[in-house]
Amino acid sequence: MHVLVLGGTTEARRLAAELAARPGVRVTTSLAGRVARPAALEGDVRVGGFGGVDGLAAWLRERRVDAVVDATHPFAATISENAVRAARLTGVPAVMLRRPGWRPVPGDRWHDTASLTGAAALLPSLGRRVFLTTGRLGLAAFAGPDLAELHFLVRSVEPPEPPLPRHAEILLDRGPYTIDGETALLREHRVDVLVTKDSGGAATAAKLTAARALSLPVVIVRRPEPPQGARVLPDAAGVLSHLASLGLPGRV
């Protein structure tokens, strides 16, 4: 059985390792190629876009793929939409592995918004020193003259893409992060407000706990809806059971 995992996440890496360990299963992980030195992966790896829905559909046919697992990041909406459409075109079954989003608990001071622009609009009323953890792309939303007086601590895995906020301090780092580490960081940089996407998952959740402990407001950019008709499962165990129902060899 040949499984294509659309990757770029910790979940995708773990799933590929589970699949690669099974006799009779071939796994190929596909990466967009945005990260210069991605973490090592079990099984085969291919890098770069497919060329839209038709390109992905052709790849599925040519490589005789038996199942697609879309384990991309919850904010990677285009490739997820393409996966559903290419699966329909080819008849190859597809499933989406999507970690659950974060939910507030008592003590949280969360402000939901639908976009980075929406997050930027909220900032002047929430503080002057911003911890921005929305990734390296899309920071133009925070580069406008209306936010020129704010100070941004920008954390990302790879250097952020300009235009950047006028006062931007860059912190290159990769999770997982600890609550103690995040609390110390927020204190050291005298952060007033945290901005994050609703990425979900444990690896980057410590900042939310730290913000709660320090009673800081958090601006949360909510994730896009999954594509219509997508079969969405929250974890690798569910995906493996689903693949087993399609004939995946080995233990479940």
Beta strand segments in the chain, E: 2-6, 26-31, 44-47, 67-70, 94-97, 109-113, 129-133, 151-156, 167-172, 193-197, 217-221, 232-233
Cα 15 from Cα 41, distance rounded (Å): 10
- Single out the residue of 4, 8, 97, 142 in contact with ligand NAP (rule: CB under 6 A): 8
Binders in 156-195 for ligand NAP, by CB under 6 A: none
Q: Are strands 167-172 and 109-113 parallel, antiparallel or unpaired?
A: unpaired
Least separation in angstroms between CB 224 and ligand NAP: 9
**Is residue 133 involved in binding ligand NAP (CB under 6 A)?**
no
CA distances from 182 to 27, 131, 198, 199 (A): 36, 11, 17, 17
User: Site map for ligand NAP, 134-153, x if CB under 6 A?
Assistant: -x------------------
Least separation in angstroms between CB 33 and ligand NAP: 7
- Single out the residue of 1, 6, 168, 206 in contact with ligand NAP (rule: CB under 6 A): 6
Please state the separation of Cα 188 from the chain's center in Å: 27
Rank residues 37 and 251 by Cβ distance to ligand NAP and give the closer one.
37
State the number of binding residues for ligand NAP (CB under 6 A).
24
Q: Pick the closest to residue 147 from 115, 162, 172, 125 (CA basis).
A: 125
**Is residue 31 involved in binding ligand NAP (CB under 6 A)?**
yes
- Single out the residue of 3, 9, 15, 155 in contact with ligand NAP (rule: CB under 6 A): 9
**CA atoms within 13 Å, Cβ hemisphere of 186:** 25
User: Site map for ligand NAP, 48-67, x if CB under 6 A?
Assistant: -xxxx--xx-----------
Residues that bind ligand NAP (CB under 6 A): 6-9, 30-32, 34, 49-52, 55-56, 72-73, 75-79, 82, 135, 197
